[in-house]
Amino acid sequence: MTNNAPRTIEDYLRQLRAALADQDPALIQDALYDAEEYLRAEIVARSGKSEADVLELIALTYGAPEEVAAAYRDTEIKVTAALRPPLKPRGRSALARFFGVFTDARAYAGLLFMVFSLATGILYFVVTIVGTSLSLGLAVLVIGVPFFFAFIGVTRVLALVECRLVETVSGVRMPRRPPHPGAPQRFWGRVRSMLTDVRTWTTLGYNVLMLPVGITYFVMAITGLSVSFGLIAAPILQGVRAVGGFGSDSVFADGGIQMEPHWMNSPGGLLLCLLIGIVLLTATLHLSRAIARGHAFIAKSMLVLP
């Protein structure tokens, strides 16, 4: 082995991380998980050899850290190119770019994400608050520590699911592997590792944060959609009423007082409602796409291995 060849798994992972230092943190987390999983399995399978000897053999099969980093880098370039959406034609006008959002699937995905973020936010918040409360309450009992293990395991599974969801709706690279638990430790060593792992607390913080964030996203999406479709539907409803579809001259009336603005009964007013509704709906789709991408960076900063 050369002088700089890794002699322990920690050395190998340190060199691999250094070789991938210029890559996305999500890619680094995936590479470190795959490498550590493979290395530890090989160490167990070759229990008769020293760790340094096994790593020397692995360098010939799995690859040295620099070779593994190069392979991940090349694969990431190919996958990114394959998943990249088709490029929009150059020279399009600002108006075409503005209304072109209707052909972007990620805008609709972002809108769905905003709508369902209320449900996921409630789920994450309840799991975190109930789990934390029970963990603290049961800490004095024998069952307290196993419950804490299970609770942290559930939060990490939810974090991985959230990462996959965020990548789907935003297109921002997120990890496809969870952080590796590391070498087997004794019971209290594992507890100490969980308590000192910054990801434990940032994940819990993210889950709590998702409730107010989810409420905000939900209100923004529903308000934008309801007002947009309400304005777009106004000319249609007026047309139906004009041909006798409604029995009253006004949709809303109270004591003979016309509650509907008079200008909305004019052709110009109805056309204005239609145009404002279309523009507002388009802006809502732009907003949903921007929020999905912005939220991806929040999720990455709190859920991905630093």
Cα distance between residue 15 and residue 18, in whole Å? 5
The number of beta carbons lying within 10 Å of the beta carbon of residue 238 is 20
pLDDT in tens, 231-286: 888 888 777 776 665 544 444 444 444 445 555 567 777 888 889 999 999 999 99
Q: Residue ranges per domain, the chain?
A: 9-83, 92-116+157-306
* Whether 289 contacts 104, CB under 8 Å: yes
What does each of the 306 residues of the chain score in pLDDT, given as a tens digit?
Answer: 455 778 888 899 999 999 999 899 999 999 999 998 988 888 888 877 888 888 888 877 888 899 999 999 999 888 887 767 766 666 578 888 888 899 999 999 999 999 999 999 999 999 999 999 998 898 888 888 888 888 998 998 999 999 999 999 998 999 888 887 776 667 677 777 777 888 889 999 999 999 999 999 999 999 999 999 998 888 887 777 766 655 444 444 444 444 455 555 677 778 888 899 999 999 999 999 999 999 999 999 999 876
Q: Which residue has the tokens 């590792």?
A: 193
Angle formed at CA 195 by CA 10 and CA 157, multiple of 5 degrees: 80
Tokens of 47: 């229990």
Give burial (CB, 10 Å; 0-12/13-18/19+) of 175: buried
Whole-prediction pTM: 0.79
Helix (H) or strand (E) holding 227: helix 198-242
How high is the pLDDT of residue 289? 94
Backbone conformation region of residue 255, classed left if phi is above 0, alpha if psi is from -120 to 50, else beta: left
Cα distance between residue 265 and residue 155, in whole Å? 55
Cα distance between residue 120 and residue 134, in whole Å? 21
